[in-house]
Amino acid sequence: MTGLVQVLGVIFGVVLILVGILESFFFRDQRLHRLFLINPADTDAVRLWTVNLGFYNMIWGVGAIVGSILLTGAEPAAGRALLLFTCLGHVLLGIILVLTERRLWASAIAEALLPLVISVLLLL
């Protein structure tokens, strides 16, 4: 089971890093405006939160990957705690996202589903 959790944790971390890169560096790309609900005229106004949010996601992603790697290292409890914290944080963030903006329900599911699965596997 640990191997599966590790693979899923790394996938989750990589996805967070990729989303963070899109948010931080490509938020001006009009193809992403629909995904992020950005009005093209507002890109300068949203720069602060998109860049900041992107870096948050990249840091969370690194946490998921490090936690996954530590699961079979010298301190598996530390890896479990780090990965569980990261996953449960994103489950909560997905819930908050859909509660604050219902149009982002698909993004909320994408944000919360995989970490929910990982969390359940870690708690079994």
CA distances from 32 to 23, 74, 107, 119 (A): 9, 41, 13, 29
**Structural domain count of the chain:** 1
For residue range 9-45, list pLDDT tens digits in order.
Answer: 999 999 999 999 988 887 777 777 676 777 777 777 7
Tens-place pLDDT, residues 102-119: 988 988 999 999 999 999
> For residue 40, what are its two tokens?
């093209």
**Domain carrying residue 82:** 2-123
